[in-house]
Amino acid sequence: MKLSVVIPDYCDPLLIKTIDSLLEGSELGSDLEVIAVIDGYEPEFALREDPRVRYIKLGKNRGMRGAINAGVDIAKGEFIMRTDEHCCFGKGYDKILTDACQPNEIMTARRYYLDPVKWEVMQDKGFVDYEKLVIQNVSEGVRKFSGKPWKERDEKRKDVMVDETQAQQGSMWIANREFFLKTVGELDTESYGPLIQDSVEVSMKYWKAGGRVMVNKNSWFAHKHRDFPRTHNNGSPENPAQNEKGYKYALDTWEKYYQEVLLPRWVDWGK
């Protein structure tokens, strides 16, 4: 098996369209498996029956991080890919990304915005390649790591098709499974809470291990635009989001490393 795609899902009817896009865009054939993790609920929509698709039904809601862990735990692929359940994908995404991704890299693709009603890429919104890792003020006394679109680097590095970036949204990434398990293991569901900052945790652990965070512009995906109503539920009554806890823990754990190691390493990137 070349690639295992893990989709953490809680009550999102767009799951099936996402699975269909993964299957239709694939060029790996039987070397692809899609693992949809049904996170503690019973779907009211028909599931897609296909030999490449596997479903895990968790008896209790674990949240996004726990659902990703459950999917990775049974993945058979040389590579694992994590994606949200409201995305579509370019033709050959799986072969393009697995051919390019080195063992110590975590890689995302060019990100467009998805109109989930028309199920079309919103071409007028443009796309995101590079993101700068910043610390953002969320509200009074609340800060968090965040990715900020980096237009200056977009222009300067427009001809570099596979390149390092400082941040990724987290809605889709791919990684060598063996290196991921050695470097990250399971996502930390206790310290960060069930839902947030997973891309921060993964990226920081890759950098600490000598790895890299990459963007591959030869492939693309489109993530549901935030202007559209929520089609899924991020925090069930049994599993509240705990956002502020996660933001604080990420900063307590990684801010010094970010300030003292990463920013000096990236100082020439803006030139």
- The string of pLDDT tens digits covering residues 93-130 is 999 999 999 999 999 999 999 999 999 999 999 999 99
User: Containing H/E element for 39?
Assistant: strand 32-39
In the chain the beta strands, taken as DSSP E runs, fall at 3-9, 32-39, 53-58, 79-83, 87-89, 105-115, 120-121, 127-128, 131-139, 142-149, 162-164, 172-176, 212-224
Residues 40 and 257: their CA atoms lie apart, in Å, by 36
| CA 125 centroid distance within chain | 20
* Average pLDDT taken over every residue of the chain: 94
Determine the Cα angle at 112 with ends 153 and 40, to 5°. Answer: 120
- What is the second-level CATH architecture of the domain 3-270? Alpha-Beta Complex (3.90)
Question: What pLDDT is attached to residue 232?
Answer: 58
Considering only CA atoms, which of 86, 125, 130 is closest in space to residue 221? 86
SS3 124: helix
User: Residue 239's pLDDT band (boundaries 50, 70, 90)?
Assistant: low
